[in-house]
Structure 1
């Protein structure tokens, strides 16, 4: 399957129901974002949560007004209600369903937060000759809940979610060097090696996404993940909110190069 679409082409395919799966490996060169959509009464506390936890929640954009269905600073021809492959609906902190179109659920008081995603730095790893396993095996990146605590803000609290990519030691060091240049999309890893040290009992049993092959001599390398807000939402229990489904991102028109720190 071809993944060589422009961001606007991929968003159009998603809007037309022609793509409803993860976006890893699509639209090389462009920033992908996690999404959280909250009633405006909850937005200030969530903004503070992001500011206090920039590693898992690097803020890229916030809607200018409640009820806005677009984010003009990150994408043209964007409809937030239809242009993400899959959304999760939460009520009182519990995910109730996953849908491909949130138009029937949309409310005029919703504030949208777009958060950086590790998919954006994957192309830099590949360009350096590293094997990004979830892309080479054509699956969603493996993600896990951890025991790493986030800093609380109002009702928002919880532990960090991480994504994992395996590398041999020399490649892991190179990956750390590369990703340090991208603080707006999670930056350097938060852990590598023994998964149990961050509360992961079985590396082959993911909480989100798909397991990947870890070859002999490789170590799992873990990055902070933008699914972390979904754990915080479970704790805060807002009466209503919407997020992306893990791995199903908003693909923006922003070049990844704009996020790099040289």
Structure 2
């Protein structure tokens, strides 16, 4: 697909877009991280595997609900549903990653020429969904403010294995003013279906992260003075399991380039 669509220049314009409008831009070839897009609508991670691996993924998600909260599952070969009415999971994400035999085999802007009728799509909750709530509370979101992708890190914390799948927990990081960490925990804990409260605050070395300036996925963000690194479970975790487990063939969103769904974020809030 030719990358030709123009990104809305104004951050407020991106935030105000309806999901179908954003997906149309991505379908036309716009490649961009989706943090800050379509306020009020849930975003989702994708992991797509052949039918004979689908139970392993479902069991992995059930045993590791913090990084893998399931929002929906499509039938084998199905490419649309209530997550994206009238859309297509093969074309409506800004960028995808292809995995072959436990190795990343490149990125692409659509999946049309690699799609198979035995593929099962899992949509998992994404922490981008609660970022608007953080901003509304006056808590800055560094990667949005700095115009970059969120930094993500593979940790040394193992997930609980399931069937043939095993691998490390992946986390996203947002620096939060030290005085607002408790507020960030409280706000995000209301969204358990999109990772919920942080899994760790400060001390990245306790997660096996040696250098915050060298994320495994996404971009580096500047950490202002007085801010503390706060880590949330990340939906890239099953893709790390695909790599660690040598899955013969799988597809996923490119980290930070999410499926913007038609599901309102209030649906995933708890009191």
| Same fold? TM cut 0.5 | yes
* 3-state SS of paired residue (2:175): strand
1:95 aligns with 2:139: no
| Aligned match of 2:43 | 32
C-alpha distance in 1 between matches for 2:227 and 2:31: 32
SS in 2 for 1:104: coil
SS in 2 for 1:216: coil
Q: Which runs of 4+ in 1 moved over 2 A?
A: none
State the Cα deviation string for residues 181-226 of structure 1 (Å, max 9, x = none): 0000000000011110110001111111111111112110000000
Query: How far 1:78 moved relative to its partner?
Result: 1.0
In the alignment, structure 2 segments of 5+ residues that lack a partner are 1-8
Q: 10, 19, 34: which one pairs with 1:7?
A: 19
Question: TM-score if structure 1 supplies the norm length?
Answer: 0.97
Secondary structure of 1:103's partner? coil
**Could you tell me which residue of structure 1 aligns to residue 56 of structure 2?**
45
**1:66 — aligned with what?**
76
Structure 2 distance, partners of 1:168, 1:194, is: 15
Q: CA deviation at 1:239?
A: 1.3
* Alignment check: 8 A CA contact 2:46 2:121 kept: yes
Q: Is the 8 A contact 1:140 1:209 kept in 2?
A: yes
**CA distance in structure 1 between the aligned counterparts of 2:40 and 2:147, rounded to whole angstroms:** 18
Q: Deviations over 1:4-39 (max 9, x none)?
A: 31100010111111x211101000110000001100
- The match for 1:16 is 28
Q: SS state of the match for residue 80, structure 1?
A: coil
Match of 2:161 in 1: 152
Partner secondary structure for residue 44 of structure 1: helix
Q: CA RMSD in A?
A: 0.8
- 1:58 deviates by 0.6
Q: Is contact 1:60–1:114 with CA below 8 Å preserved after alignment?
A: yes
Q: Using the alignment, how far apart are the partners of 1:179 and 1:140 within structure 2?
A: 19
- CA contact 1:144–1:162 (8 Å) conserved in 2: yes
In structure 1, the gaps of 5 or more residues are none
Rounded Cα–Cα distance in structure 2 between residues aligned with 1:93 and 1:208: 17
Q: Matched residues in 2 for 1:91 and 1:38: separation? A: 11
Per the TM alignment, residue 73 of structure 1 is displaced from its structure 2 partner at its CA by 2.2
Pairing of 1:201-240 with structure 2 (within 5 A): 201-240=210-249
